[in-house]
Amino acid sequence: MEKFLERIIIKAIKFLKANPKRLFTIFFMPILILSSVNMIDFFFIPKIETTDQIVSRRKLYRNNSYGRTVVGCKYKTAKGFSFSTSEAIIRENDIDIKHTQIFKSVTFVDSDRKDYTEKLSSNLNGILKYFHLLFLSSLVIGIIIFISERQISQNTYLNIIIFNALIFVVLLYMLFFY
């Protein structure tokens, strides 16, 4: 078993040394496709409207020199949707929401008293859509550079890999925690 694993590791290292651009393209192409589908789902495909009830609220805090301040709230609904708002707390339980068809991202929240759509901060609402757009454009540029047969410097190569990896980690963090 050890010899088998050793041969696999040696082959993987040889592949990495021989063609690192191809590995980047193979690794990030599914992420590019998934991110593109997410953007298309969020901005272009029609939304589904439904009535729902909030079943849990969790306040989001930020520490500062005066103590903790509330910066938003995270909600879960009876039908399984979750979303966050910034600077606003929805006090009513009955809400109307619109969500995307593929990823079930909440894009619209309205109660009897107020429209909370502008305060949404989860999924591709708020600043996250700009990070997502930056990541998509960076991936496209990186893959185009790697697919082309042009010679690039080691510095350019490392910059593309490290920048895309960093933006990907930030994007994942923001998607899961906001």
> What's residue 108's pLDDT?
93
Low-confidence ranges of the chain (pLDDT < 70): 1, 12-13, 15-19, 178
Pair (64, 94) in one structural domain: yes
For residue 173, what are the domain limits?
20-42+129-177
Contact of 88 with 59, CB cutoff 8 Å: no
pLDDT tens digits, one per residue of 77-114? 999 999 988 887 888 999 999 999 998 889 999 988 89
pTM: 0.75
Pair (54, 114) in one structural domain: yes
DSSP notation for 42-70? HHTSPPEEEEEEEEEEEEEEEEETTEEEE
The total domain count for the chain is 2
